[in-house]
Amino acid sequence: MKADVLVIGAGAVGTAITRELTKYRLNVICVDKREDVGGDCSKSNSAIIHTGYDAKPGTLESELVVSANPQYDKLTKDLDIPFKRIGAILPAITDEQFAQLPEIKEKALKNRVYDVEYLSKEKILEIEPNINPDVKGGLFIPRESIIDAFIYVVAMAENAVANGAKFMLNTEVTGIRKEGDRVVGAETTNGYIEADYIVNAAGLFCDDIANMVGKYDYTVVPRKGQFYILDKNTGCKVNHIVLPIPTKVTKGKLMTPTIHGNMLVGPTAEDLEDKFDKSTNTEGLNSIRDDVQKLIPGVMLQDTITQFSGLRANRNPEGLNIDVYDDVKHYVNLSGVRSTGLTNSVSIGSYVANLLKDIGLKMEFKDNFIEKRKGIVCMRELSREEQHKKIIENPLYGNIVCRCESVTEGEIVDAIHSPIPATSVDAIKRRLRAGMGRCQGGFCGPKVIEILARELKVDPKDIRKNNSKSYMVCGKVK
Amino acid sequence: MYKMNCDVCIVGGGPAGLSAAVAAKKSGAENVLIVERDEALGGILQQCIHPGFGLKLFKEELTGPEYYGRFVDEAKELGVNTLLNSMVLEVGANTVTCINSELGVCEISAKSIVLSMGCRERTRANIMIPGTRPAGVYTAGTAQRLINRQNEMVGKKVVILGSGDIGMIMARRMTLEGAKVEAVVEIMDFLAGLTRNRVQCLDDFGIPLLLSHTIVNIKGNDRVESVVIAEVDENKKPIMSTAREIECDTVLLSVGLIPENELTSNAKIEISPITKGPKVNQYMQTSIESVFACGNVVHVNDLVDNVSTESKKAGESAAAYAAGTLHTSGAVTVETGENVRYVCPQTVVPADEKVDLYFRVMKPQKNVVITVSDGDNVLLSRKAIKVNPGEMEKVTVSVKDISSLKVSVKEA
């Protein structure tokens, strides 16, 4: 196997880099050890497209996030990704917080986020009636937005495939081969891949990859964030991203609608050593309750339909870094891509492409780059007439498998045979929301296993929730 | 869009819908149509292959398929129409919109409608068990479907949370299939399900029942590797000094059922905050007078026999409504007295008839008197040796000329 560029990691960042490189006459391979694109951090976060108003001014992170945000209008339209500019409100509940507002606005200006506005108490309670009535006033950040983070990565990957990139999943990099002072390829669990250039976008595991090329200048410090997802029917909702005024210690816990109309509440921020620890715990979940009640006193966490943890790939020493080295040529190392990573990814794509050119990669523009991608039809969003037409065309669209989110067998079959095939129960769930509703897969889970096994022509015991050891059933009954 | 007409349209062809359909037809409704999302009638009973059904209604011990089979046969004989593989998307006062893979979107006009969608299981997230999210955590009903309908075994070493009936039945089923059930763990200090199930499903197989215990952590990144259980104090808070880890590959949850009322609430039908089902009168009529409801969509029953009896009433009333002969006005609200969590029906229309009142108590109690009264006038008073939240109670009273109604349970 041979590539001009090998990208390690198919999270938001790796996928965005891969897609960006397909704009050039290059043979690009993206590998990931997981069974699906979407990585670790990219799929369990708040799914907010940030403006960068609160970044540290003058940093690479600030530059990337500020330039990324405006790109999402066109990008999400081109690639058929659910996206909404709902805006964020920062309510100041105490006098002390109120006094902090000018400083926050000033920082936003330094980050060249010029559209932050003051809001009066009355205005806040008018547009967001569930906010604590003690609110003194606040800020409005209009371009803070919400996205379907799963579809974002899938769409970027599918578009990259349409433009000639190759994704190799279930493929873990076990070593990187060097010749002299440059890299020449990677050993993987799926064989050796010869590569002229290698980009390390391995997120949580980027330090392990860096070690393989002899770089030990940082370590990943996973920072856990726990969240609640609330039922779409919960009695207390918000219309905007409601953010707390940050303290010196933490950015704090927020409440926001998700792109699909649930409420998302969280996250915690806990530094860990174990990169695999994505457990939730009572202390963390209780701290979310205590903190968010200060902002939204009526929040109904009893309406939760799930709780989850995600890990941010923070590093020590801190900071977003994109490095090239004199003693390890033909290699780009990304590290410290954290909370802003989902937003940044699109800017990182072009930044890394440019960096590769700087370090000698020959890059010729393609004139036939396909800009658009169309997602799987979403039956629940069609009108009754359109639904009727689709079912007459293909009866599988008339068979609802997931009751809570109204997902049909036709959509599931489409996802299994899509450019980045969904081959696991979670991959189906992330693309279509089957199993993401209030019954959490109680009804559709067994049917999804059956459909996956049928379409992939395997036994149900070979169907996985996600990774290779996560079997769903263990063989036939007696 | 495909259009259809009928007198009584029944949403859901499980035991409730079947019984309502048979009754509606027998009461003279000409065109009775069951709309069912599954490929066959019978609902959840299709996966309930164990015996224990029908003792009350048929005085026989039947399996789930035998039980609903009797209703399916009767429905066929009577000429009840069915639309299978059809998921209802929307219910109005006189319309049911569904989606069917052959017909496309169907709009059914009906003189009256019976809602019998059943219930769903509470999930891990509803009760917020912390830990990782590996494969191998199933609700008991999901596991039951995989094992009994799809012939797929879900795991080999199991811990079951919740002593509901499905949990206990699955403990026995898993054991019969060669799995080791390490324990059934129950947070309350009493059994959630029927006593007979404890005896037949747990005691007979030597499966330990741990009352006043709960799961405080689920471990494992890919598949379940273990759970941590702990005893709880009187406020149901885990006592962490009692925590111990049990190795297992599967966790089954039997932690309660919730009536499935998305269609009902979207139709703006009034829902009881306690039962989570539509409020009904003795005719099983909801707040929209052309819409009736029965079975677990109204309140979660422990015996299917009760469901059938209650649904018969719904079917008869829906037929009468379709024929224009059901008149209901001046309903009184049934009040819940001491140790009564809820009473179904929630309202009663005074009439020259006897009405069955189904109710559940809040806490177990021994040697009690069950009283139904209209103000100072005691309509019924009966002794009971014990009452349990897990076992539904029934009283039958005459409701002629009543001006109020209250059910209470007091120490004798």
Model confidence at A320: pLDDT above 80: yes
The pLDDT, as a whole number, for residue A251 is 77
Record the tokens describing residue B362, joined without a space.
């809040």
- Residue contact B153–A468, C-beta within 8 A: no
Look at the block and give the residue holding tokens 């409005």. A140
Contacts of B150 in chain A (CB under 8 A): 446, 449-450, 460
Q: Which pairing describes strands A241-242 and A88-92: parallel, antiparallel, or unpaired?
A: parallel
CA B301 to chain centroid, in Å, comes to 4
Whole-angstrom Cα distance, residue A308 to residue B131? 9
Q: Nearest C-alpha of chain A: how many angstroms from B14?
A: 15
In terms of Cβ atoms closer than 10 Å to its own Cβ (0-12, 13-18, 19+), residue A441 is buried
Q: Is the dihedral of CA B50, B56, B61, B67 positive or negative?
A: negative
- pLDDT 10s digits, A68-118: 999 999 999 999 999 999 999 999 999 999 999 999 999 999 999 999 999
- Residue contact B100–A398, C-beta within 8 A: yes
Q: Nearest C-alpha of chain A: how many angstroms from B260?
A: 10
- Residue contact A469–B97, C-beta within 8 A: no
Tally C-beta pairs within 8 A across A and B: 146
Which of B133, B175, B265 best probes binding to A when mutated, by most A CB atoms within 10 angstroms?
A: B133
Averaged pLDDT score across all residues of chain A: 96
Model confidence at A18: pLDDT above 90: yes
Of B319, B322, B320, B343, nearest in space to B332 by CA? B343
Look at the block and give the residue holding tokens 């499905």. B166
Contacts of A310 (CB under 8 A, 6+ apart): A40, A41, A43, A44, A45, A224, A225, A227, A267, A278
Which of A264, A387, A400 best probes binding to B when mutated, by most B CB atoms within 10 angstroms?
A: A400
- pLDDT 10s digits, A344-397: 999 999 999 999 999 999 999 999 999 999 999 999 999 999 999 999 999 999
Contacts of A449 in chain B (CB under 8 A): 146, 150, 152
- pLDDT 10s digits, B396-411: 999 999 999 999 999 9
Contacts of B45 (CB under 8 A, 6+ apart): B14, B15, B53, B64, B65, B67, B68, B304
Is residue B246 a contact partner of residue B183, using CB atoms and an 8 Å limit?
yes
- pLDDT 10s digits, B33-68: 999 999 999 999 999 999 999 999 999 999 999 999
- pLDDT 10s digits, A168-219: 999 999 999 999 999 999 999 999 999 999 999 999 999 999 999 999 999 9
Contacts of A280 in chain B (CB under 8 A): 130-131
The partner residues of B131 in beta bridges, in order of sequence, read A280, B218
B162 — alpha (psi -120 to 50), left (phi > 0) or beta?
A: left
Looking at A381-435, which runs of residues are DSSP E strands?
A: 400-402, 407-408
Q: Nearest C-alpha of chain B: how many angstroms from A194?
A: 31
Residue of A nearest to B2 (CA): A388
Which of B128, B214, B276 best probes binding to A when mutated, by most A CB atoms within 10 angstroms?
A: B128
Contacts of A400 in chain B (CB under 8 A): 37, 87, 99
Contacts of A460 in chain B (CB under 8 A): 150, 152
3-state DSSP of A3-69: EEEEEECCCHHHHHHHHHHCCECCCEEEECCCCCCCCCHHHCCCCEECCCCCCCCCCHHHHHHHHHH
Which of A44, A391, A407, A466 best probes binding to B when mutated, by most B CB atoms within 10 angstroms?
A: A391
In terms of Cβ atoms closer than 10 Å to its own Cβ (0-12, 13-18, 19+), residue A83 is buried
Distance from first CA to last CA of chain A, Å, rounded? 45
Radius of gyration of chain B from its Cα atoms, rounded to whole angstroms: 22
- Residue contact A473–B125, C-beta within 8 A: no
Residue of B nearest to A407 (CA): B87
Helix (H) or strand (E) holding A119: strand A117-120
Is residue A98 a contact partner of residue A136, using CB atoms and an 8 Å limit?
yes
Residue of B nearest to A464 (CA): B135
B28 — alpha (psi -120 to 50), left (phi > 0) or beta?
A: left
Averaged pLDDT score across all residues of chain B: 96
Give me the torsion for CA of A100, A101, A107, A108, rounded to 10°. 160
Around Cβ B368, how many Cβ atoms within 10 Å? 21
Contacts of B152 in chain A (CB under 8 A): 446, 449, 460-461, 473, 475-477
Is residue B357 a contact partner of residue B397, using CB atoms and an 8 Å limit?
yes
- pLDDT 10s digits, B297-351: 999 998 999 999 999 999 999 999 999 999 999 999 999 999 999 999 999 999 9
Around Cβ A135, how many Cβ atoms within 10 Å? 22
3-state DSSP of B124-178: CCCCCCCECCCECEEEHHHHHHHHHCCCECCCCEEEEECCCHHHHHHHHHHHHCC
- Residue contact A440–B124, C-beta within 8 A: yes
User: By percentage, how much of chain B surpasses pLDDT 70?
Assistant: 100
Instruction: Give the active site residues of A.
Output: 50
- Residue contact B121–A280, C-beta within 8 A: no
Residue of A nearest to B134 (CA): A470
Please give the single-letter amino acid code of residue A298. Answer: G
Residue of A nearest to B44 (CA): A443
**Average of per-residue pLDDT across A409-420:** 98
Around Cβ B275, how many Cβ atoms within 10 Å? 23
Of B248, B20, B243, nearest in space to B116 by CA? B20
Whole-angstrom Cα distance, residue A113 to residue A13? 23
Of B269, B274, B273, nearest in space to B293 by CA? B269
- pLDDT 10s digits, A113-168: 999 999 999 999 999 999 999 999 999 999 999 999 999 999 999 999 999 999 99
Q: Which pairing describes strands B137-139 and B250-253: parallel, antiparallel, or unpaired?
A: parallel
Compute φ and ψ for B144, nearest 5 degrees: -65, -40
Contacts of A443 in chain B (CB under 8 A): 120, 142
- pLDDT 10s digits, B162-209: 999 999 999 999 999 999 999 999 999 999 888 999 999 999 999 999
pLDDT category of residue A39 using cuts at 50, 70 and 90: confident
The pLDDT, as a whole number, for residue A249 is 66
Is residue A182 a contact partner of residue A292, using CB atoms and an 8 Å limit?
no
Record the tokens describing residue A5, joined without a space.
């560029």
- pLDDT 10s digits, B66-95: 999 999 999 999 999 999 999 999 999 999
The pLDDT, as a whole number, for residue A346 is 98
Of B195, B140, B132, nearest in space to B162 by CA? B140
Q: Nearest C-alpha of chain B: how many angstroms from A283?
A: 10
Contacts of A434 in chain B (CB under 8 A): none
Model confidence at A250: pLDDT above 90: no
- Residue contact B89–A406, C-beta within 8 A: yes
pLDDT category of residue A246 using cuts at 50, 70 and 90: confident
Is residue B348 a contact partner of residue B399, using CB atoms and an 8 Å limit?
yes
- Residue contact B153–A477, C-beta within 8 A: yes
Contacts of A392 in chain B (CB under 8 A): 104
Helix (H) or strand (E) holding B320: helix B304-323
Record the tokens describing residue B136, joined without a space.
């191998």
- Residue contact B153–A305, C-beta within 8 A: no
Please give the single-letter amino acid code of residue B347. Answer: T
Residue of B nearest to A229 (CA): B125
pLDDT category of residue B391 using cuts at 50, 70 and 90: confident
**Average of per-residue pLDDT across A215-237:** 96
Radius of gyration of chain A from its Cα atoms, rounded to whole angstroms: 23
B12 — alpha (psi -120 to 50), left (phi > 0) or beta?
A: left
Model confidence at B223: pLDDT above 80: yes
Whole-angstrom Cα distance, residue A364 to residue A24? 5
Compute φ and ψ for B289, nearest 5 degrees: -65, -20
Please give the single-letter amino acid code of residue B177. Answer: E
Question: Where would I find the H helices in A116-176?
Answer: 121-127, 149-162
Q: Nearest C-alpha of chain B: how many angstroms from A41?
A: 15
Residue of B nearest to A424 (CA): B135
Around Cβ B77, how many Cβ atoms within 10 Å? 10
The pLDDT, as a whole number, for residue A187 is 98
